Amino acid sequence: MTVAAAPSPVRHSARSWSGVPVLLAILAGLFLLHIAVGAKALPLGTVVDAFFAFDSKDFDHVIVFNLRLPRAVIAVVVGATLALAGALMQGVTRNPLADPALLGLTSGAAFAVVIATSVYGLATMALLPWIAMAGSLGAAAIVYIIARLVPGGATPLSMTLAGASVSAFLGAVISAIHLLNQETFENLRVWLTGSLAGRDVTMLYYVGPPMLVALLAGILLAPRVTVLAMGDDVAQGLGVRTGPLKAQLLAVVVVLTAGAVALAGPLGFIGLVIPHVVRLYVGSDYRWIVPYAALAGAAYLLGVDIIARVAIPPREISTGIITAMIGAPLFVHLVRRRTR
């Protein structure tokens, strides 16, 4: 696994630049499509009017501005942050299977939110991101401690196995809470599958600022992740203080993951698949992988959510279900392609 994630020499520099406007154009196109289509067919003129001549008494304008636009914004934020978090984790751990879900961060955040809301009856949204972050951080600490305690220390393999174990354990505890608290758990049923439907956009006020800081920090730290991905010895030989760098990157990943979970529930596969897709195009230079993953992750989740909203009208499918249904075969395809 270490070999698969190790960087090849930096390449594709000119090609990498050229991809940014293309990705931005795709993202913008999907964003507009996300706003233009939905359960109710709206003329394009109405969609445009909603932006430039908003009338709060016109329900079509309300659909565009109050229902579709916030959902599209949340899709962009969640998709970008999960993909970026996955890319950073794969670089830090030198493990191509690393992603926030596999290393227990998503489960930790979900577990903390479930405990806070269904057991302690938390109703204050402002606290939710902090609780999710505490859950992510706690899960990360447990995974790291377990991996350190096994013979050989915290290798990519031991981290992956510890992460899978912690995720499975927390999933089992969530199931147990479900059995003990069926009635109040009903409110979390869809959220736990990962969903963008009916999400409270005001949550962005609370999670947005720390996520933005973490996003910028991730982009700034990306060049050093390229060095780190060559191995601790090489990185230290090049003057990188690996311990503090890893701690900073872990903090970035925890904030991004917890914010995404607080916004949309535990969405899987984005942090795992998108960095691999990006790597096919830009190689192993994290200066490019990180921003590309953010853009591609945002575009991917927008596209997936469009499918979730329009696939079987009038109903909607939970976004997390579509994410997994597309992400799983895509990941298998990527693995087959790499092994050829």
Partner 1 sequence: MFSLPSRALTTAAAALLATCLALPALAQETRTITDDAGRSVEIPADPQRIASLQDLFFSVPLIELGVTPVGSHGRVVIESQPFMRSSKMLTGVDFDTAPITFLGTGTEIDPEAVAAVDPDLIILSTNQDPEAFASIAPTVLLDFNRSDKFELYDRLAEITGTGDALKLLETRYAQQLNQLKAQVDAPNISVNVIAAVEGQIRSYRHFAALGRLLDEADFAMPDAVKEIEYGKFADFSPERLPELDADLILVTYRAEEGETAQDAYDLLEATIPGYCAFLKACQNGRLIAVPRDETFASSYSALGSLAYTLIALLAPVPDVRPD
Binding residues vs partner 1 (CB under 8 A): 38-40, 56-57, 59, 62-63, 66-67, 118-119, 177, 179-184, 187, 189-191, 195, 197-200, 309, 313-316
Give me the least distance between CB of 52 and partner 1, in Å please: 20
Give me the least distance between CB of 39 and partner 1, in Å please: 3
Q: How far is CA 105 from CA 161, 246, 326, in A?
A: 14, 15, 22
Crossing angle of helices 44-52 and 13-36, rounded to 10°: 100
CA distance 250 to 227: 16
Give me the least distance between CB of 241 and partner 1, in Å please: 45
CA distance 195 to 204: 15
Contact in structure between 197 and 318 (CB atoms under 8 Å): yes
Contact in structure between 94 and 156 (CB atoms under 8 Å): yes
- Between 67 and 207, whose beta carbon lies closer to partner 1? 67
- Between 136 and 319, whose beta carbon lies closer to partner 1? 319
- Between 147 and 204, whose beta carbon lies closer to partner 1? 204
- Between 35 and 273, whose beta carbon lies closer to partner 1? 35
Give me the least distance between CB of 185 and partner 1, in Å please: 9
Give me the least distance between CB of 76 and partner 1, in Å please: 18
Give CA torsion, residues 327, 225, 299, 102, to 10 deg.
30
Tokens of 229: 């991905």
- Between 21 and 314, whose beta carbon lies closer to partner 1? 314
